[in-house]
Structures are given as structure tokens and as C-alpha cells.
Structure 1
């Protein structure tokens, strides 16, 4: 059964967060508001849950699912190492609209798709998302839409596309213009912007104090 919670109401928000945390721990899917677009999320360490997430979106494992975290320090346990460039970008833009790609820790038992040994990480600037992440830990999250359809800027838009495949919808109000996060690949010798979104290429270069090239 699908339930929608209005997170603008204090009691509904508390009930919704509790229900969402319970659903995530049970390997089910939830929709959460973020500072970019609404996200479809699940337990990052449950391969079955991630498979359900991809099925709900109508997408294969060739496009890996990113991971949202609730704090800066969480990153240390998820990646092989945190280079200086990553620390600089985290301090400059987290929580916020910047995703970073790093080699993941080989000891982690997860299956996020064909990641080639990497993971894309972000800490969102949204109180509902942060509170849930701090309760349940890292979550695999993708945009809350069917593959090939526009990303959802409201919980209702997400529900229209994903329906009963999602256990809990947390309605945090409209997100505004659905602009995706900027993605910076830090797996090589030099940072590369894979996707320029809410954070400009110039802003990334300014934070790092060096020229940054785009993959496109």
C-alpha cells in the first residue's frame, strides 16, 4: 500500500519520516524531496531494493544509481580514499547541488549497477532528505520518474509516474525548476565535469583554483 505524507505539517512529517525509514529498512522504495528534483530511493546496500528501483524506473543497470549521504563524514566509509580535490568540493558545495564520483571502497557489499568500481555521492540540501538519511544511512537515489520522462518537481508528479511501486511518498512541496546536480568525476588525475547542472563549471573551477574541463 502506498502512503503520501505532507511534510509541511509537523505530525505528518514525523509520521512520514518514520514510515519512510521503516520502508527503506524493509527493502522497499520511497520518494523524497531534494534540493534538485524529487528522488526515488532505497537502501544502498540492498541489491534487491536497487533492482526494484531500476525496475520502477524502467531502466537497466548500464546507468548506475548514485548514493545520497546525510553528512560529510559518511563519505570516508564509502570510498577507497578521499583526495584533496574531493574535500575542497565537499566543503564548498555540500550540502548542495554537486555530485562527486570516486572509487568506492572494495569491501562494500552493494550493487548499484555497472559502476566500474566507482560511486557517485551527494549530500542534498533539504531538511527532509537529510533527516531520513541520518536515520537510515546512505541511500541509493535516482530521479523520481520513469526513464525517458521528465523528472518530478512535486510528489504528485512522481506518484503519477511511479504509482504503487513506491511504498512511501514524502511530499515536501514543489522543488522549483527541475535542475539536476552537477557531476564531477574525481577518479582520474584531473577533475572532469561529466554533467553541468545547478553548479556551473566556472564555480567548480573557482573552488578548486584550477581549470576544469568538461566531458562534453
Structure 2
């Protein structure tokens, strides 16, 4: 793998002339050379490369250590870029674009003839979204091409929500990181597949089941069985392999705080250094080596926003075993639990 002195390019003034910002221009020049750069979106930081270049896509897989049979999401800054990228747009997809673009919604559509087959993993569809972040939009526009951009982390690790997270994982592997501060949503985009009749959620994310139903109608949104059943092959980018995992073994606990503390005490008695992933409301209840709140249980959007940062914090603390609380699978809680279950490899202890 080619080695780089990875630079950090700060962009902290999101004005309307961002496309002329020297760091945006610098990033776009690397992309035009079929290299990859990290950039902020409203969900997580992405590792971006020219979606029409086989070389750029190969560099994304190489830098992340990601299997090449895992499709990527293509990011656009203008709907005009859909021409040639997709071959058709169902009516429901149009409705969702009108409602949620730019924003954390990825739509899987029949692919056109300009996208690299390495992006789609040779599938007949391509996943597309328009990010709601001025830096990402400016880089796409300055580069002049749609950008493939999975999360800018080592494959399998928690997704990055700050430039520091990207640097920890990809230092020396990429030429540069555009630092636009912390991301807002904190979990990846919702991925859906559309027909004229139904919308199927392939990956839960920042746009909820209820949000989608509000646009396309009650009863017209379904959830892909592959999300809940590990034996079925998921059809969405970012869902095929174990994801979001901290370094230490992670187990979810579906039970009372008292039950979770009992599990912790047992492991501590065996000499292990224990971490607990909890919320602001319960952080003072637990006794462990490292107790990290991800946000407020009463405001799950804050949990989504800080989830990956919390998971990464356990790595810094040198924890041997992590226990995590579960959350109601409603609203954005569906996305939170999807990420936690992936992080835990499906390991859940019930009281």
C-alpha cells in the first residue's frame, strides 16, 4: 500500500463560497488524481473517491481493509448527477428525494452505465444519496464527479464522527482529511430500496420508519428481513460483515441496571478491567473501571450522535470487557440497536 504523510485540512467557515476554499480545492485535486480523501458528512466522516474510477474505488477498499464484495454508497451534490448513474427512478424514490435530500437517506436504484462495477460489487443496483453537509457538497461539486464514500474508518471498527477518529484509523493510508468538526446525526444514513408500490428499509439510520411512512403512506414501508436475521444476506452497503466493534469483547445486556451490575461484579472479581456503555440518566449508578454515557435515554438522538465516540473511548481506556445497555427499537432507536447488535456480534444476555 502506498504511504502518505496524512495532512489535516481544517474548514471551519461554512460560507457560500466554500467551493473556493483552498482546502476544498486541495481535496478535489487529489480526487481528480483518482486518490481518496476523508471528509465530513452530516452522518459520519466518509472516505471519498471518484465513483467512476476503478483505481479510486480500489484505493478505498485498500485503505479501509474492506472486502471488495461490499458495495459502496455514491454521493452526489445535484440531482443532475443521477443521469447515467441510475437507469430509472421509481415514483416513491422521487417522493423520498423531495422530502429528505439533502439528508441522511440513501436510495438503492437500478444502476446506469457510468458507475464503476467495483462500487456496486457487480450488483444491478447502485446506492445513492445527497449529503447534507456543506463541505461534502462543495468537494463533490469541485471534483466534478459523484463520489463513492463509505465511512472513513478501518473496516469493522466504529465509524468516525470526528477528524481525530479518521486520523487514528487511516493515518499514513490517505493523503488528507478535511476537518469540518464533529458530525451531527452520528449514525450512518438510512438505506432504502424503492418500487412504485413499496419502500423497503435495508439499513436503519437517521431517517426513521415513521419518517418514511409519513411521506409514502402508512403500510407502504417494510423492513428487510436480512436486518434481523443474520442467516439472510443483507442487500445494503455496510451490512454484510461485523461492524462498529470496539477492541474489547462487547456484550449487550437486556435487563435491569442491577442485573448488569451483577455481571460486571462477576467479571471484575476475575481480574478483568470492565467498561459499561450507558446513558446520562444511569451513569452514576454503575461501578466499573470505565462508565461511558452515550447520551440521554430520554433523547435517543443524542445517543445516536455520540454512540461511535463512546465505543471508541473504551479502546483508549484499555478495557478487557464491555457491557452495554439496550434501547427501545422505536424511532432512531432502531438504528442505535442495529449498530449495537452489530458491534456485539449478536451477543445479548437477557435477565
Report TM bin, short chain. over 0.9
CA deviation after TM superposition for structure 1 residue 113, in Å: 4.5
Partner of 1:205: helix, strand, or coil? helix
Residue 166 (structure 1) shift: 1.2
In structure 2, how many angstroms separate the alpha carbons of the residues matched to 1:113 and 1:160? Answer: 28
Query: How many Å separate the matches in 2 of 1:59 and 1:75?
Result: 26
1:27 aligns with 2:31: no
> Structure 1 CA distance, aligned partners of 2:114 and 2:162?
33
Q: Does 1:214 align with 2:223?
A: yes
Q: Hey, what's the Cα distance between the residues in 1 that align with 2:129 and 2:120?
A: 17
| Correspondent of 1:192 among 192, 200, 203 | 200
Deviation at 1:210, TM superposition (A): 4.0
Structure-2 residue corresponding to 1:3: 7
Whether the 8 Å contact between 1:19 and 1:168 is mirrored in structure 2 is no
- How far off is 1:2 after superposition? 2.2
| 1:89-109 deviation digits (Å, cap 9, x = unpaired) | 00000000100000111x225
What is the aligned partner in structure 2 of residue 158 from structure 1? 166
Cα drift, residue 177 of structure 1: 5.5
CA distance in 1, matches of 2:101, 2:70: 24
Check the 8 A contact 1:76/1:82 in 2, yes or no: no
Match of 2:210 among 202, 206, 209: 202
TM-score by length of 2: 0.58
Structure 1 pair 119–190 and aligned structure 2 pair: CA distance change class (3 A): same
Tell me what 2:110 maps to: 103
After the TM superposition, which segments of 4 or more aligned residues of structure 1 sit over 4 Å from their partners?
A: 9-13
Distance in 1 of aligned mates of 2:197 and 2:122:
19
Query: SS of the residue aligned with 1:121?
Result: strand
- C-alpha separation in 1, matches of 2:34 and 2:195: 30
1:64 paired with 2:68, answer: no
Retained in 2: the 8 A contact 1:101–1:187? no
User: Do the aligned partners of residues 163 and 187 (structure 1) sit closer, same or farther apart at CA in structure 2, a change above 3 Å counting?
Assistant: farther
CA distance in 2, matches of 1:153, 1:191: 28
Gapped regions of structure 1 (runs ≥ 5): none
Decide whether the 8 Å contact of 2:90 with 2:196 is kept in 1: no
Deviation larger for 170-179 or 124-133: 170-179
Q: Which moved more, 1:66-75 or 1:11-20?
A: 11-20
TM-score by length of 1: 0.93
- The correspondence of residues 17-166 of structure 1 with structure 2, limited to 5 A, is 17-105=24-112, 107-108=113-114, 110=116, 111-136=118-143, 137-166=145-174
Instruction: Tell me the C-alpha RMSD between the 2 structures.
Output: 2.0
Which residue does 1:180 correspond to in 2? 188
